[in-house]
């Protein structure tokens, strides 16, 4: 597709379950970012990939959160033992190698933990 | 730590009226500055950005923003609002010279437009 694609668009799960959220960036974009947007807040940075490696994971809130990008394209955000406080919209963004400062965002995956 | 303040949570304007959305930042040095718009059912879209140079920057959809160093502000303006501008607007910053764009966002301002 032409833009950043995120699946699922909505995910409802129970407390304690494991969740995976997928991001398919714009073709050729080497940088990939995950953000989390809670209700009434702006997006908060979670993790940044340059190629296959996590260049900065300082925003991950705890060790229940993990993200991978094994082939330098699609990324998966993994959340273990979900808690109600993990409920939010998870946004993925990508940008080209020669960055002009513009991030291209997907529509997000809305996670609800019951 | 850097922070971004958008003092107005919700603004309502009439179609055709002018608009100004406020943004203040707190950071040791002048960061790179951005405005993004989030429309229902769509991803965040970049409206404009400021890195250096002319302090009045033009963006898409008829928006402009002015950087004022003395006030640590980067307010967004539009002379005549259209109904399609109803959305949520986010100001964001990143340290200047950063090799990547781990943006720090404000909490956003929701814009409603009255026909």
* pLDDT greater than 70 at residue A98: no
Please name the residue of chain B whose CA is at the shortest distance from the CA of residue A38.
Answer: B107
Cβ atoms of B102 and A56 within 8 Å: the answer is: yes
**Whether A48 contacts chain B with CB within 8 A:** yes
- Which pLDDT belongs to residue B99? 66
* pLDDT greater than 80 at residue A18: yes
**Whether B86 contacts chain A with CB within 8 A:** no
pLDDT band at A54 (very low <50, low <70, confident <90, very high): confident
Q: Nearest CA of chain B to the CA of A88: how many Å?
A: 14
pLDDT band at B96 (very low <50, low <70, confident <90, very high): confident
In sequence order, the 6+-apart residues with CB closer than 8 A to the CB of B109 are B6, B8, B9, B10, B11, B21, B22, B88, B89
Burial group, residue A20, by CB count within 10 angstroms (0-12, 13-18, 19+):
middle
Sign of the Cα torsion A85, A31, B75, B104 reads: positive
User: B43 vs A33: CB contact, 8 Å cut-off?
Assistant: no
| Long-range pairs of A39-44 with CB within 8 A, sequence gap ≥ 24 | A39/A88, A40/B107, A41/B107, A41/B108, A42/B4, A42/B90, A42/B92, A42/B105, A42/B106, A42/B107, A42/B108, A43/A91, A43/B44, A43/B90, A43/B103, A43/B105, A44/B105
Pick the more confident residue, A51 or A22: A22
pLDDT band at B2 (very low <50, low <70, confident <90, very high): confident
* pLDDT greater than 90 at residue B109: yes
* pLDDT greater than 60 at residue B80: yes
Phi, psi of B84 (to 5 degrees): -70, -5
- Which pLDDT belongs to residue B71? 94
**Whether B52 contacts chain A with CB within 8 A:** no
pLDDT band at A100 (very low <50, low <70, confident <90, very high): low
Average pLDDT of A84-93?
97
Q: Which residues of A touch B36 (CB under 8 A)?
A: 105
Percent of chain A predicted with pLDDT > 90: 82
Mean pLDDT of the residues in chain A:
93
């Amino acid at each position: 597709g032409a833009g950043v694609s995120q699946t699922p668009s909505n995910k409802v799960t129970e407390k304690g379950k494991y969740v995976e959220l997928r991001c398919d960036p714009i073709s050729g974009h080497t940088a990939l970012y995950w953000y989390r947007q809670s209700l009434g807040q702006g997006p908060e940075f979670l993790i940044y990939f340059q190629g296959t490696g996590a260049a900065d994971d300082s925003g991950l809130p705890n060790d229940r959160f993990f993200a991978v990008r094994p082939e330098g394209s699609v990324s998966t955000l993994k959340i273990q033992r979900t808690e109600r406080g993990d409920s939010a919209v998870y946004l993925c963004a990508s940008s080209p190698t020669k960055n002009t400062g513009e991030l291209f965002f997907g529509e997000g995956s809305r996670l609800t933990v019951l | 730590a850097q922070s971004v303040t958008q003092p107005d949570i919700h603004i309502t304007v009439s179609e055709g009226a002018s608009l100004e959305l406020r943004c203040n930042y707190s950071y040791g040095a002048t960061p790179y500055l951005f405005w993004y718009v989030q429309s229902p059912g769509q991803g965040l879209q970049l409206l404009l950005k400021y890195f250096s140079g002319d302090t009045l920057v033009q963006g898409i959809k008829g928006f402009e923003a002015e950087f004022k160093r003395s006030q640590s502000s980067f307010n967004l303006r539009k002379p005549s609002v259209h109904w399609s501008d109803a959305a949520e607007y986010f100001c964001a910053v990143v340290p200047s010279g950063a090799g990547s764009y781990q943006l720090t966002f404000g909490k956003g301002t929701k814009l409603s437009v009255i026909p």
